[in-house]
Amino acid sequence: MFIENCTNFGFSINGNTVVGPCAILPQAILQWNVGTYKDIIPESLALFYMLEPKIEIVVLGTGAKVERLDPDVLKCLQQRGIAVEVQSTPNACATFNFLVSERRVTAAGLIPPPPATMYE
């Protein structure tokens, strides 16, 4: 898997356009049922620890900036031996691509950054 582009609408991954939040797994790209980082809860991360072979690291992209997630949310993966990296979505995309290039068993949960406004 390789993330080619990230926009406020979604992502271009291996030549496919994915609209909205997505979960990228070693063999699949899925729509991810979250709206914002506040929707990232243990249940929304279950797909990352139910797979074989086991995911080594999950990169979470929380939008335009890094958002603080509830420690219990991260613990649900860490207790299963899965490392977690929380970053802004553009940085998460770059980190995901780097980890995949290093042949790490990597997954990502990505929320597109909101559109920039002229008032920001």
Task: Look up residue 116 and give its two tokens.
Answer: 């920039």
How are strands ordered across the β-sheet holding 28-31? 28-31, 22-25, 106-110, 57-61, 83-87
pLDDT tens sequence across 55-67:
999 999 999 999 9
Q: Is residue 2 in some structural domain?
A: no
Please tell me the total count of domains within the chain. Answer: 1
Residue 50, amino acid: M
Q: Is residue 100 in some structural domain?
A: yes
Task: Look up residue 22 and give its two tokens.
Answer: 């997505």
**Domain of residue 42, CATH code:** 3.40.1230.10
Beta-carbon count within 10 A of 38 CB:
11
Q: Is the pLDDT of residue 120 over 60?
A: no
Q: Is residue 66 in some structural domain?
A: yes
CA distance 40 to 26: 20
Split at pLDDT 50, 70, 90, the class of 118 is very low
CB 96 within 8 A of CB 11: no
| Domain housing 95 | 18-110
Q: Is residue 97 in some structural domain?
A: yes
Q: Is residue 7 in some structural domain?
A: no
pLDDT above 90 coverage of the chain, percent? 80
Parallel/antiparallel/unpaired status of strands 83-87 and 57-61: parallel
Q: Is residue 9 in some structural domain?
A: no
**What average pLDDT does the segment 8-36 reach?**
92
Q: What is the pTM of this model?
A: 0.91
Q: Is the pLDDT of residue 27 over 50?
A: yes
